[in-house]
Chains A and B, each alone.
Chain A
Amino acid sequence: MSTAEPSAAVLRLEAVRKTFGRSVVLRDVDLEVAPHTVTALIGASGSGKSTLLRCANLLEEIDDGAIFLDGEEITDPRVDPDTVRRRIGVVFQAYNLFPHMTVLDNITLAPRRVHGVPRAEAEERARELLERLGLGGRADEYPDRLSGGQQQRVAIVRALAGRPRLLLLDEITAALDPELVGEVLGVVRDLKEEGMTMVLATHEMGFARDVADQVCFLDGGVVLERGTPAEVFGEPREERTRRFLRRLVEAGRL
Chain B
Amino acid sequence: MTAEDAAADAPRDALRKTPAGQDGTAQDATTQDAYIPSARRLERERIKRVRARRTTAIAAVSTLVTGTALFLAIVNSPGWSRTRETFFNAHYAREALPKVLDGLLLNLRLLAVCGAAVLVLGLLIAIARTLRGPVFFPLRALATAYTDFFRGLPLVICLLMVVFGVPALRLQGVTTDPVLLGGTALVLTYSAYVAEVFRAGIESVHPSQRAAARSLGLSGPQTLRHVVLPQAVRRVVPPLLNDLVSLQKDTGLVSIAGAVDAVYAAQIVAAKSFNYTPYVVAGLVFVALTIPMTRFTDWITARMDRRRAQGGIV
Residues of A within 8 A of B (CB): 1-2, 4, 14-15, 17, 19-24, 27-28, 30, 32, 54, 58-61, 63-66, 75-78, 99, 214, 226-228
B11 touches A4 (CB 8 A): yes
The answer to the question of B174 belonging to the interface, with a C-beta cut-off of 8 Å to chain A, is no
A77 touches B47 (CB 8 A): yes
Whole-angstrom distance between the Cβ of B31 and the nearest chain A Cβ: 10
B30 touches A23 (CB 8 A): yes
In this complex, what residue of A is CB-closest to B39? A1
A-side contacts of B172, CB under 8 Å: none
Which of B37, B38, B312 is close to A59, meaning CB atoms less than 8 Å apart? B312
Interface pick from B2-10, B150-158, B218-226, B263-271? B2-10
In the bound assembly, the distance between CA atoms of A72 and B312 in angstroms comes to: 22
Whole-angstrom distance between the Cβ of A39 and the nearest chain B Cβ: 11
B-side contacts of A65, CB under 8 Å: 38, 40-41
B-side contacts of A99, CB under 8 Å: 206
The answer to the question of B214 belonging to the interface, with a C-beta cut-off of 8 Å to chain A, is no
* Other A-B pairs beyond A21-B29, A22-B29, A76-B47, 17, CB < 8 Å: A1-B39, A2-B11, A15-B12, A32-B4, A58-B313, A59-B312, A59-B313, A59-B314, A60-B312, A61-B313, A63-B41, A64-B41, A75-B44, A77-B44, A77-B47, A214-B1, A227-B2
In the bound assembly, the distance between CA atoms of A214 and B1 in angstroms comes to: 9
- What are 21 sample pairs from A and B whose C-beta atoms fall under 8 A apart? A1-B43, A4-B11, A14-B11, A14-B12, A17-B35, A20-B311, A27-B33, A30-B12, A59-B314, A60-B312, A63-B28, A63-B41, A64-B35, A64-B41, A65-B41, A75-B44, A76-B44, A78-B47, A226-B1, A227-B2, A228-B1
In the bound assembly, the distance between CA atoms of A211 and B137 in angstroms comes to: 59
The answer to the question of B51 belonging to the interface, with a C-beta cut-off of 8 Å to chain A, is yes
B1 touches A66 (CB 8 A): no
Query: Which B residues between 286 and 314 are near A, CB-CB below 8 angstroms?
Result: 311-314
B-side contacts of A58, CB under 8 Å: 313
A60 touches B311 (CB 8 A): yes
A-side contacts of B48, CB under 8 Å: 77
Whole-angstrom distance between the Cβ of B60 and the nearest chain A Cβ: 22
In this complex, what residue of A is CB-closest to B2? A227
A-side contacts of B311, CB under 8 Å: 20, 60
The answer to the question of B142 belonging to the interface, with a C-beta cut-off of 8 Å to chain A, is no
B-side contacts of A2, CB under 8 Å: 11, 15, 40
A-side contacts of B44, CB under 8 Å: 75-77
A64 touches B40 (CB 8 A): yes
Query: Which B residues between 214 and 253 are near A, CB-CB below 8 angstroms?
Result: none
In the bound assembly, the distance between CA atoms of A227 and B40 in angstroms comes to: 28
A-side contacts of B4, CB under 8 Å: 32
